[in-house]
Chain A
């Protein structure tokens, strides 16, 4: 479409009227018609052209604007989206889609991947700037912005990590501070307790060392004072005095063995049924009873006597149909040692051994 022709008036009707052009003052209608025709042609051409640009709703016609119709700055801005600045164009170099180079001060963006070879081929490139600076700068700026954004992201991540670390460190520091405070408090309390203990020890030691507060031996042995302290030595002296021997007064009193005669202990004893299978009722310091035969027994001591010179006391029963009481008898030839005592159960007036239901013996030494 060509542009609408310009309209330039060719007749001045006022001049012609003044000059009485053609000898008349009336309007030359033919000339006016021509003028109007020219105006109409121009206006119609304008209208046709306008219809190719503007829609009926006064909006710009769809699909009308193509990239090349955009301003250089706009094209440069669009071209740099995703572009990869590669510096000056180089020979024998592989270029990828959207690689941006400068050649003769014109920025160009690669449309088709290729190797540049030795001769520049404009088929592969689209010029996006007049002087080659704006697009490159924009691309560089975009790249820088991307890099900056990445750096910012990294920095943000690092900052977050640092923040977390700082938080953790702060928490640890807080815990450590709390622990330190607790430890300090504990140390202070321990120190105070130690001071109190030392003071108490000094006071106690002072009390114990005071001769008027510590019992002497006679007081300890008497056991009548109820206000003085007892040292270990005084305690031992008191015990020795009170129960240190079997014949001490308290021991004798406890055993109902009052007055002067000393007491001696039974060192072993046994009570068993010697008839049939021997049945030992109870015993003390006796490990076993040996049934050697009818009416013949041996008492074996768990712990041996100092010697065989112990004294034996015995008791038995009389059979309901027997002729006399039985008694334990030590017969010549029978064993009598520190560890065992053999005896016979014999009916009075007889020499015959008999088993007895009650065989009771006590050994004193």
Chain B
């Protein structure tokens, strides 16, 4: 399962989990652009890559968030 990660305003890493229903009609990239806050870079990874540690302890280089940027609109095109 693919998930989307980005850094929120507090600097913690947030994880976006697309629902099964949306993946029947939309791609993970489309969900990322819609549901990641506007202007925040994100990366799409497999959920198995998420660390087995408290989420607040996760870290990632900004350069790794290179798959896209959250869109201005919160609706699908």
Residues of A within 8 A of B (CB): 270, 272, 277-280, 282-284, 286-294, 300, 302-304, 337-340
Measured CB to CB, the closest approach of chain A to B45, in angstroms, equals 12
For the A-B complex with A288-B16, A293-B56 known, give 8 more contacts whose Cβ atoms are closer than 8 Å.
A282-B21, A283-B19, A287-B34, A290-B17, A290-B35, A291-B14, A293-B55, A340-B74
Main secondary structure of the interface of B (DSSP, over half): mixed
Q: Which residue of B lies closest to A277 (CB)?
A: B47
User: Which residue of chain A has the shortest Cβ distance to B58 in the bound complex?
Assistant: A293
List chain A residues, Cβ under 8 A from B61. none
Measured in the bound complex, the distance between the Cα atoms of B76 and A339 in whole Å is 11
Q: Please judge, given known A-B contacts A300-B35, A304-B74, A340-B74, whether A292 and B8 are in contact too, CB under 8 Å.
A: yes
Q: Chain A interface secondary structure, helix, strand, loop or mixed?
A: strand
Q: Which residues of B contact A287 (CB under 8 A)?
A: 18-19, 22, 26, 31, 34-35, 76
Contact surface of B with A, Cβ cutoff 8 Å: 4, 8, 12, 14-22, 26, 31, 34-35, 47, 50, 54-56, 74-76
Tell whether, in the assembled complex, residue A293 and residue B21 are in contact, meaning their CB atoms are under 8 Å apart. no
Q: Which residues of A contact B50 (CB under 8 A)?
A: 277
A286, B16: Cα distance in complex, Å = 12
Most chain B CB within a 10 A radius of its CB, from A272, A300, A304: A300
Task: Give CA–CA (A278, B14) in the complex, Å.
Answer: 12
Closest chain A CB from B29 CB (angstroms): 12
What residue of chain A has the Cβ atom nearest to residue B55's Cβ? A293
Closest 6 CB pairs of A and B: A339-B74, A300-B35, A287-B22, A291-B15, A283-B19, A278-B17
What residues of chain B lie closer than 8 Å to A278, measured between beta carbons? 15, 17
| 28 intermolecular pairs with C-beta atoms under 8 Å apart | A270-B19, A278-B17, A279-B17, A280-B20, A282-B20, A282-B21, A283-B19, A283-B20, A283-B21, A286-B21, A287-B35, A288-B4, A288-B16, A288-B17, A288-B19, A288-B31, A289-B19, A292-B14, A293-B12, A293-B55, A293-B56, A294-B54, A300-B35, A302-B76, A304-B74, A337-B74, A339-B74, A339-B75
A294 to chain B, nearest CB (A): 6
A270 to B74, CA, bound (A): 18
Inter-chain contacts of B75 with A (CB < 8 A): 303-304, 339
A294 and B56 contact, Cβ closer than 8 Å, known pairs A337-B74, A339-B74: yes
- Least CB distance from B59 to A in Å reads 14
Docked-complex contact A293 and B34, CB < 8 angstroms:
no
Q: How far is the CB of B5 from chain A (nearest CB, A)?
A: 10
Nearest-Cβ distance from residue A171 to partner chain B, whole angstroms: 64
How many angstroms from the CA of A49 to the CA of B60 in the assembled complex? 150
